[in-house]
Amino acid sequence: MNWIALKDYSQISEALERSEPFLVFKHSTRCSISSMAKSRLERNFDLDGVQAFYLDLITYRSISDQLVLDFNVAHQSPQLLFIQKGNCTYHASHNSIDLEAIKAKL
């Protein structure tokens, strides 16, 4: 799995312009549950052609706040967002994160 470090909201804007589906994993580097969710994603990721952004919530909380506003999802951590055609079509947190649910949307 090749994470793209999300450090500026312009990266989201650019991904939206490409019109290809992408993921955003919101991760708290201080939370063991978040680390377990990240590890599980990395072990099971098999979504070819889907970009995966990694957001360090401790450092870049303002990006998470903007995601909340733009995609109308409550902030959680860990949290996975799946963006298609400019909309968040899937979001889940903690143990509810399910790559199979995302595959069904592709």
> In the CATH hierarchy, which fold is given to the domain comprising 3-105?
Glutaredoxin (3.40.30)
Give the torsion sign (CA, 83, 52, 41, 30).
negative
**Residue 37 contacts residue 98 (beta carbons within 8 Å):** no
pLDDT, mean of residues 44-68: 94
pLDDT single digits (tens) 60-73: 999 999 999 999 99
Q: What is the pTM of this model?
A: 0.92
Confidence at residue 81, expressed as pLDDT on a 0 to 100 scale: 97
106: confidence class by pLDDT, cuts 50, 70, 90: confident
Q: Is the pLDDT of residue 1 over 90?
A: no
User: Which residue ranges make up each domain of the chain?
Assistant: 3-105
Q: What is the mean pLDDT of residues 34-61?
A: 93
